[in-house]
A and B are shown apart, each in its own frame.
Chain A
């Protein structure tokens, strides 16, 4: 349990720094910055206390906004997605969704893909809706959401493979 917490803290700090100093400055095709820091929310223990996850999500978004001079979109998006995560997990994995993280790798591929893509898509939708915050920019919001979600998805998927191999 203790080493689990320690790993979580290290992962939190590592993903935060990686996101703010490297990934947020990629500007692939001019506007795509994959948000790998979502990996923290995705792989955080599924059987945890939801309040803890909400607070961690809030802190993660807030620190990221402060480090990258963002307007506050990351805070709201990350907070909301950590609040929604139990519902998304229930929807994707069925009624027995409260399993330890290690189990995540042994679930069906289709369930895992659904879980990942729902979290990533909703996060980016909220993020870009807040950043642009007007109906006139709905096309820009959707364009950014789809492309960034796609690249984040790829990064998160392969990072999870890496984590898994390390664990085994």
Chain B
């Protein structure tokens, strides 16, 4: 026991350092999506290896029960599929399928030269702003609301390395995910567009309909270059934004009135 205490005393500085390091890594994990995702990926890789053996054995004994569950689920999915199909065919005739509410706000802080950029606007929950609303400007999209206080909100800028936005071509609706590489405040990348679609330099990119945050069809930028791989099926497209995020003053916050329903469907 005495030896243990002596050893602890001998390494107290190192122990203090390690303790505080763990606290700061937890802090890092709590503050940044990017680090969070890397930490959880590592943890997942370790735990899943251990779990998979365990899982395989228990799965074998539960096959009968699983079959029954799958049948039930299939039934439910079929019902949902029919319902969705009905709704879709109706929606084609509706003039305004998008239910978005718009608030205006003024930017009071704007960063654009870091790897993860934020904006702060002068509207908060008093004015009806909520977390995860989309933010657009007169000539493009700006970001997504991240935190809200009573009078102010902070926005994850689209110039944020961890943010991916669903975007597509105006001419044919082919979509991919748009993200910023962290180099230049007007250049972004559009990935995951299938090579089945034709791409021409100068094509206009708009927000895609699969995003919960933005209405469909807001112009974002134009194609300035692309690479077509010989084997893989996806383009690597360079985009130049229409809007200059380094000199914005006023923005619009858009609220998707039906986001609760969309989320509910996602969870089910």
Residues of chain A whose beta carbon lies under 8 Å from any beta carbon of chain B: 27, 30-31, 50-51, 54-55, 58, 61-62, 65, 69-73, 75-76, 79-80, 83, 130-134, 137, 140
Contact = CB atoms under 8 A, between A and B. Distances in A.
Interface stretch (B19-27, B62-70, B77-85): B19-27
Contacts of B106: none
Interface residues of B, number: 25
Given A80-B21, A131-B115, A132-B115, A71 B13 contact: no
Contacts of A69: 118, 154
Nearest to B12: A51
B113 A51 contact: no
B35 interface: yes
Nearest to A74: B24
Nearest to B161: A132
Contacts of A62: 24, 27
B17 A54 contact: yes
A30 B113 contact: yes
Contacts of B30: 72
B17 A27 contact: no
Nearest to A31: B113
A154 to B, nearest CB: 21
A39 B121 CA distance: 34
Contact of B13 (A27, A51, A72, A75): A51
B34 interface: yes
Contacts of B14: 83
B20 A71 contact: no
Contacts of B116: 71
Interface string B1-28: 0000000000011101100110111011
A71 B24 contact: no
B38 interface: yes
Interface in B116-175: 116, 118, 154
24 contacts: A27-B113, A30-B113, A31-B113, A58-B20, A61-B24, A62-B27, A71-B28, A71-B31, A71-B32, A71-B34, A72-B24, A72-B27, A72-B32, A72-B35, A76-B21, A76-B25, A79-B21, A79-B24, A80-B17, A83-B13, A130-B35, A131-B115, A133-B34, A137-B182
Contact of B20 (A30, A55, A134): A55
Contacts of A72: 24-25, 27-32, 35
A148 to B, nearest CB: 12
A131 B182 CA distance: 12
A133 B20 contact: no
Interface of B: 12-14, 16-17, 20-21, 23-25, 27-32, 34-35, 38, 113, 115-116, 118, 154, 182
B26 to A, nearest CB: 9
Contacts of A51: 12-13, 16
For the complex of A and B, 8 pairs with smallest distance between CB atoms: A72-B28, A71-B32, A83-B17, A75-B24, A50-B13, A58-B20, A76-B24, A72-B27
Contacts of B12: 51
A117 B27 CA distance: 28
Nearest to B120: A69
B18 to A, nearest CB: 9
A131 B17 CA distance: 20
B31 A65 contact: yes
Contact of B28 (A55, A58, A76): A76
A79 B17 contact: yes
Contacts of A50: 13
